[in-house]
Amino acid sequence: MPTFPTLKLYYEGSYVRILQMNLYDLNYRYNGLQVTGKFDILTYEVVRDFQVEHKLVPDGIVGPITWTAILNQVTYIQSKLNSINFPLGNVDGIFGAKTTMAVKNFQSANNLLVNGIVTPRTRQKLFNPNPEINYSNRPSSLSLSSLNPYVASLAERFLNLCTKNGLNVIIITAFRSWDEQDILYAQGRTAPGNIVTDAQGGDSYHNWGLAFDSAPFENGRVAWDDSAAFNEMGVLGQQIGLEWGGNWTSYAISLVDTPHFQYTFGLSTEQLLNGLKPA
């Protein structure tokens, strides 16, 4: 593979274009990233999110380590497509026209939206083609039994701990269907309203039974405005090892999500889509 130059904010040129093409076609486009050849703020934000997702230093600078991580993501897709008879020629880590065409052919053959982008549904079909295993056809549920058994046990402990501390807490969402996630993703983009998530169907831990949303319930209703109660929930949840959405850090979109708790087993949703399983 050729050596790529280090890129940062406000740089311009053909390597910036390659960077943007790769990120865009790997579906890092939730903040409206476009392939312009200009390393703008949107590019900077998705680079930082990519770095977080891949456990790299989130400095927004595309040096050798970040380049390697991005190119590896593309070669991973290219090798897979070649191996299952959607040929694209050289595996070079660059998401060019041949790779886009192979993705489109694969999407068309699998009744997926044909856009040439490695959407979560495209990725799961590539690496994890049985929908029973990856939950892509399961309905939404409020029941803790819809969660991964270990996460369900944590949720149970969390609810008990809240009760012991004088907080009455209810579950708002447990498993969320991929279709429902897509509807949330559309909000503020192709549908009216404000943006509420940067995750498409398959890209949220709710879609893998690894997350739940909860809220304080006071005087017969959900107390959305009781921020003190939400903060206390956050403290208690983290005390038993849950990750809390109140500490959310996304560089592309600022989403503080105080009802949200998750336990990820150290796996990114990209890894789940690639077929890795929680321990």
Report d(CA 230, CA 23) in Å as an integer: 35
- What part of residues 226-255 is at the interface with Zn ion (CB under 5 A)? none
DSSP state of 149: H
User: Of 53, 82, 46, 66, which is closest to residue 4 (Cα–Cα)?
Assistant: 66
Residue with tokens 């739940």: 212
Is residue 213 close enough to count as binding Zn ion by CB under 5 A?
A: yes
| Structure token digits, residue 115 | 């856009």
- Strand pairing class (221-222; 260-262): unpaired
Strand 169-173 to 221-222 pairing: unpaired
Q: Which stretch binds Zn ion (CB under 5 A): 50-58, 123-131, 139-147, 205-213?
A: 205-213
Q: How far is the CB of 211 from Zn ion (least distance, A)?
A: 5
Identify the DSSP state of 2.
P
Closer CB to Zn ion, 94 or 242, in the complex: 242
**Minimum CB distance to Zn ion, residue 213 (Å):** 4
Residue 246 CA to residue 238 CA, distance in Å, equals 10
CB of 172 to Zn ion, least distance (A): 8
| Complex with Zn ion: residue 22 or 148, whichever CB lies closer | 148
Nearer to Zn ion, 106 or 205 (CB): 205
Query: Rounded to the nearest whole angstrom, what is the least distance from the CB of residue 188 to Zn ion in the complex?
Result: 16
Q: Which of residues 260, 269, 270, 272 is near Zn ion by CB under 5 A?
A: 260
Applying CB under 5 A, the residues found at the interface with Zn ion are: 213, 260
